[in-house]
Structure 1
Amino acid sequence: MWIGAGVAVVLILGAGTWVATRALVVKSELESAQGLVEQMQAEASDFNLDALAKSSDELLVHSASAVTHAQDPIWRAAEVIPYLGDNLAAVRVVAESIDAIAQDVAAPAVDVVTGFDLAKRDPETGGFDLSPLTEVEKIVAAAKPIITTSRAKLDGVNHAKTFGPVTAAVVQLQGMLSKASGPLDSAGEVLKVASAALGRDSPRNYLLAFQNNAESTALGGSAASYTMMSIDGGAIAIVDQKGSGDFTAGTPVTVPIDQSALDLYSAYLVTHVNTSTSRPDFPTAAQIMSTFWQRDQGASVDGVISVDPLALSYILRATGPIPLASGDILSSENAVSLLVNEIYFRTDSYAEPEVADTFFQEAASAVLNKVTSGDFDLKEMFAAITQSVNQGSIMMWSSDPSEQALLDGTRIQGVLPTSNDAQTVIGAYYRDTSASKIDYYLQTATHTTSDVCSSPENPTFTTTVTLHSNLTVEQAKALPDYVNSFNFGADMFSTQVFVYGPVGATLTEASVDSEGVDTMQNAGATDLGRPVASFTAYLAPGETSAVTATFTGAPGAFGPLEVRGTPMINTTARTLDPATC
């Protein structure tokens, strides 16, 4: 009997030691896995794909080891022991969840990313290889049940019986999986749209609009150059190119437009395609552009993409310089000056408008061909697109309402937020009204103050907008007629300023602080659910004008304060006081 009892004690102690050893191994493996996940996030952000692939392989080793040890028969048997068993079971569930995600989601995704080759072409269409998109769709679809199962297992852990560190690990993983569920759902839809947009299922026609920031409008500048692209099975081709002179001016297109927009920006918004970008709402502009194209060029449009020379300059950082038929070398350093200023010194654009239009179209074609060749730095391109989208230099609209809805809340949509909850956005926008390309020489600034931190229930928001002409009188007189004002020559230039207050706010005061030749306060309005203060500034070369608008917020939640505005050639200096609460 004593011998039997002794053997039993030895077996129990041995089993306990075995489980304890396994627990230490599992702890070490899970900690290594967590470190690798953080490392992989940094490597992905840096586009360090070789390191990412290596880290992914290491993650698989550590997660598999953790599961193997946690699923040991003695470990599983020990899970029946009160309290200790609850902790062992919880650790096993964490290990199994991490390994399932690593093996079936993370690793396949990394394989797709690291194996992606922009230069690879579809053998049938000659276009981009769309198979990686299909693979990612499959990975996203597989991830959903894995996360659902893992969350169910984690939810079954009794926190009242687990130790602090174990509870913390379970809660942390629950939080991560909870946050991942929503983005996974939207990712699946976005991937379907991306595949459709690249013509996987049927051909698409996209209108590429080139905005000229030297003649400012709210969204960027006069939209006078257009390229129609077809995309079929990943193959991109230029179908047609037109300038603003190829559209019928003066006859409005039939587009549902808010009366508030027409009151602020006049009928020019819908009677001239180049001023369709006057309102700070890209869906409005895109619908006007696409309707102009359909009416005057006789072809339907599936979507509109807008770019400006600022975006092209960023993209050229990724592609490198591109030679043009004119003999010019288009680069990130000269793209803006060449496209919106220097070209007008070479020819009389009033007498030969087609020369500048052809130059724009050729530049757009050259950049597009370079991009579609896949011959660029992927990390630099990602940075260029991100910067362009965030400042409003690249925008997109889809004629398909379901696809357009997926853009809701993103900067690429080119809209102001419809509430103040996530962000309290004030907009300061400009529109040249002197018929010129003079904004190449215009400097702008905004200074915004608010007591929203101290008086959140009844806050005020005050924005001062300053405009300064960087020209001297002599420089203005030496400018080509097409750059100078059609209305005033070199004597002065006129710019409208539109200050959009927070959603639901009230315009309580508007004033002219310094006026240049003359600055007028126009009638206030409400547009896009926001109060708008409007001014017109007339500046002679070298002069400055400043205007101020004050808004009182309606009761409700106010997110962090942000000021947006027209992407100007000379970057608008923006200050916030206070910057944060």
Structure 2
Amino acid sequence: MSHSISSAKKTATGPLWKMGTFVPFFGPNLHAVTEVTVSMDDVAVHAGSPLLNKFDAFNWDSLSPTDGRIDTSALKDAEPVITAAANAVLLSADRMAAINLQGLLPAVSDPVASATTQLRELSTGLDMASAAARLLPEMLGDESPRKYLILVQNNAESRATGGIPGALAVLNVTKGTIELGEQTSASALGEFIPRIAVDQEQEDLFTTRIGRQMQNVNLTPHFPTAAFSAKQMWETRYPDDLIDGVVALDPMVLSYMLTAIGAVELSDSHLDDVLYRTNLPVSLNSDNVVSTLLSDVYRELEDNNAQDAYFAAVASEVFRSFTQGHGDATHLVNALVHSTSEQRLFLWSSRVQEQEIISRTALAGSVTGARAGGAAFGVYFNDGTGAKMDYYTRRTVQLLKSCRADGLGRYTVQVSIDNGAPKDAADSLPEYVTGGGIFGVKPGNIRTNYVLYGPEQSLVEGLTVNGRPVSFGSGLHGQRPVATVTIELQPGESTDLNVTFFKVSQDSVAQITVTPTAVPLSEVLLQSVDEAPCS
């Protein structure tokens, strides 16, 4: 295979082929093929062969927990090879993403788009593997016991990093052995007075609520801030629990994990009465866990404590199955990689050196710093309904690239939004789901605060809703401009939100991060369009 790729590279970089790239119409297609073959050869030489040689006899099941313990010695030994491969794949993924697909023949553009997506996912996976090889031994308590706070984000009530962190749990880790500790809910922690301190820029953008309730720590899309605030809140309520790190995930992550682990059976005796009185499933699998946790539980259970108990039971069973090594290890790794690529899985460490490594991966969830450089955009959703209506919201996001008359690069972030709740939502859905008119939102309506980030040192040109200019909030986070606007939709109503940024660098590949919702990212993030490139 590598020999064939090498031969293809020689052909595609030869003098005759290079001459062909200057031919009108055919030239861009030949150039695209050249970029693909060079990228594939780099991956084969610098990543594929070394990894295959290193892991020919490697048993990936050794990374799967056994009797509640993970042995990371083999992964630690492989770290140099994994890190070199991760760097090679990242460079190739960037090369592929820089190919302009507009005007190419479908026979060329379709495979290029597919290969780019696959390389991005491979890059994310290798980034995770490289970071894991360097971090896991210490983070799993080889040197000293560790304690991690788990935030289970509920996408039915949007927050910038995914959803309201309703269910909370603590993991205790010692020499690779993982045990589930305290479980509770964000609401049980109450309000924090005085509030937890957050830097002024983010308070200006997201109000002081960000430091007053655990439910609001992730109004900011910058996960390091959300995680540090969550750590401080937990330690304020539980002074004996010093938190070493924070992990966030959502029900879609549980769904992907259950694809690898298999179904889990709820056996918590505390749930006997709850389950007897409802139609909630006792068996949770990859097909029903999302709808159950984000919708059905609110229809069946009106009591907050009962809802929390059900969430806790599900989390406990998934955790138990994971730590007992159930399912296929390779599929589980793939599930975690996919979750990270969709920005559903985040990690933060209180140890500076560890966080420095994490910050260079997608697990960091950072909107400032190295990973936020270049043409980086962000579209984030914060619920303003005060309820669980986001389960019914459907959105798509697309980047449209063009060029101003003055030659400055321009990108328009286009967000299409639909309230898919039933027309009779005010009557057919529980008040806990609709909000019952709290915060002045009519039951059945969905109010959302949209937060849109442009690239560093770019400028906001304008914002429209359904093609009409509207007033909007503006601010800065680091050197990134931020536009905010609130939109409320009735059941069945749709709208389009466009925000245009200009003075955007043309030398880097555009990337966009979107708040994860109750549907796969592939159904939300559409292919970028280059309408009028700058010469």
Structure label with greater radius of gyration: 1
Deviation string, structure 1 residues 466-503 (Cα, Å, up to 9, x no partner): 22101232244210011002423525221111111111
Deviation string, structure 1 residues 144-195 (Cα, Å, up to 9, x no partner): xxxxxxxxxxxxxxxxxxxxxxxxxxxxxxxxxxxxxxxx999888534210
Q: Residue 35 of structure 1: CA displacement?
A: 5.5
1:446 aligns with 397
| Residues 401 and 531, structure 2, Cα contact 8 Å, conserved in 1 | no
| Residues 485 and 492, structure 1, Cα contact 8 Å, conserved in 2 | no
2:518 aligns with 569
Q: Aligned equivalents of 1:304 and 1:380: distance in 2?
A: 24
Q: Is 1:286 the counterpart of 2:227 in the alignment?
A: yes
Q: Is 1:377 the counterpart of 2:328 in the alignment?
A: yes
Q: Is 1:479 the counterpart of 2:429 in the alignment?
A: yes
Letter in 1 for 2:56: V
2:180 aligns with 238
Question: Helix, strand or coil for the counterpart of 2:172?
Answer: strand
Letter in 1 for 2:518: I
Q: Is 1:391 the counterpart of 2:311 in the alignment?
A: no
Deviation string, structure 1 residues 238-264 (Cα, Å, up to 9, x no partner): 110110122131525434x23221122
1:525 aligns with 475
2:166 aligns with 224
2:143 aligns with 201
1:466 aligns with 416
Alignment of 1:509-524 (within 5 A): 509-513=462-466, 521-524=471-474
Number of corresponding residues:
434
| Residues 374 and 455, structure 2, Cα contact 8 Å, conserved in 1 | no
| Residues 209 and 227, structure 1, Cα contact 8 Å, conserved in 2 | yes
2:282 aligns with 328
Q: Residue 369 of structure 1: CA displacement?
A: 1.0
Q: Aligned equivalents of 2:340 and 2:65: distance in 1?
A: 24
Q: Residue 313 of structure 1: CA displacement?
A: 0.7
Deviation string, structure 1 residues 375-434 (Cα, Å, up to 9, x no partner): 111222122111110111101000001100002231111113646997522111111111
| Residues 420 and 557, structure 1, Cα contact 8 Å, conserved in 2 | no
2:113 aligns with none
Letter in 2 for 1:281: H
1:75 aligns with none
- Decide which moves more: 317-326 or 334-343: 317-326
Question: Helix, strand or coil for the counterpart of 1:447?
Answer: strand
| Residues 463 and 470, structure 2, Cα contact 8 Å, conserved in 1 | no
| Residues 66 and 323, structure 2, Cα contact 8 Å, conserved in 1 | no
1:111 aligns with 57
2:490 aligns with 540
| Residues 201 and 233, structure 1, Cα contact 8 Å, conserved in 2 | yes
Question: Helix, strand or coil for the counterpart of 2:432?
Answer: coil
Question: Helix, strand or coil for the counterpart of 1:406?
Answer: helix
Query: Against the structure 1 CA distance between its residues 514 and 301, is the aligned structure 2 distance closer, same or farther, given a 3 Å change threshold?
Result: same
Q: Aligned equivalents of 1:275 and 1:252: distance in 2?
A: 15
1:344 aligns with 298
Q: Residue 455 of structure 1: CA displacement?
A: 8.4
Deviation string, structure 1 residues 20-77 (Cα, Å, up to 9, x no partner): xxxxxxxxxxxx9x66999xxxxxxxxxxxxxxxxxxxxxxxxxxxxxxxxxxxxxxx
Q: Aligned equivalents of 1:475 and 1:304: distance in 2?
A: 36
Query: Against the structure 1 CA distance between its residues 485 and 580, is the aligned structure 2 distance closer, same or farther, given a 3 Å change threshold?
Result: farther
2:156 aligns with 214
| Residues 207 and 226, structure 1, Cα contact 8 Å, conserved in 2 | yes
1:551 aligns with 501
Query: Against the structure 1 CA distance between its residues 539 and 418, is the aligned structure 2 distance closer, same or farther, given a 3 Å change threshold?
Result: same
- Decide which moves more: 185-194 or 310-319: 185-194
Q: Aligned equivalents of 1:320 and 1:108: distance in 2?
A: 30
Alignment of 1:425-440 (within 5 A): 425-440=376-391
| Residues 253 and 271, structure 1, Cα contact 8 Å, conserved in 2 | yes
2:319 aligns with 368
Q: Residue 228 of structure 1: CA displacement?
A: 0.3
Larger RCO: 1 or 2 (CA < 8 Å, sep 6+): 2
Q: Aligned equivalents of 2:476 and 2:325: distance in 1?
A: 45
Q: Where in structure 2 are there 5+ consecutive unaligned residues?
A: 7-44, 85-125, 268-274, 276-280
Letter in 1 for 2:219: S
Deviation string, structure 1 residues 316-367 (Cα, Å, up to 9, x no partner): 110111111345211111111101110011121xxx2111111111111111
1:410 aligns with 361
TM-score, normalization by structure 2: 0.73
State percent identity of aligned pairs.
25
Q: Residue 442 of structure 1: CA displacement?
A: 0.3
Letter in 2 for 1:574: L
Q: Aligned equivalents of 2:5 and 2:61: distance in 1?
A: 20
Deviation string, structure 1 residues 502-544 (Cα, Å, up to 9, x no partner): 11101121222269xxx96432111242111111011111112
Q: Aligned equivalents of 1:447 and 1:188: distance in 2?
A: 31
Q: Residue 444 of structure 1: CA displacement?
A: 0.9
Q: Aligned equivalents of 1:382 and 1:373: distance in 2?
A: 15
| Residues 228 and 238, structure 1, Cα contact 8 Å, conserved in 2 | yes
| Residues 211 and 229, structure 2, Cα contact 8 Å, conserved in 1 | yes
Letter in 1 for 2:214: V
Deviation string, structure 1 residues 294-322 (Cα, Å, up to 9, x no partner): 00122110000001011111111101111
Q: Aligned equivalents of 1:362 and 1:114: distance in 2?
A: 29
1:315 aligns with 257
Query: Against the structure 1 CA distance between its residues 120 and 538, is the aligned structure 2 distance closer, same or farther, given a 3 Å change threshold?
Result: closer
Question: Helix, strand or coil for the counterpart of 2:424?
Answer: helix
| Residues 366 and 372, structure 2, Cα contact 8 Å, conserved in 1 | no
Alignment of 1:27-46 (within 5 A): none
| Residues 368 and 478, structure 2, Cα contact 8 Å, conserved in 1 | no
Q: Aligned equivalents of 2:128 and 2:189: distance in 1?
A: 38
Q: Aligned equivalents of 1:580 and 1:321: distance in 2?
A: 49
CA RMSD, aligned part only? 3.4
1:54 aligns with none
Question: Helix, strand or coil for the counterpart of 1:116?
Answer: helix
Q: Where in structure 1 are there 5+ consecutive unaligned residues?
A: 1-31, 39-97, 144-183
Query: Against the structure 1 CA distance between its residues 406 and 347, is the aligned structure 2 distance closer, same or farther, given a 3 Å change threshold?
Result: same
Query: Against the structure 1 CA distance between its residues 115 and 393, is the aligned structure 2 distance closer, same or farther, given a 3 Å change threshold?
Result: closer
Q: Aligned equivalents of 2:284 and 2:129: distance in 1?
A: 36
1:269 aligns with 210
1:92 aligns with none
Q: Aligned equivalents of 1:576 and 1:116: distance in 2?
A: 40
Alignment of 1:497-512 (within 5 A): 497-512=450-465
Q: Aligned equivalents of 1:127 and 1:421: distance in 2?
A: 35
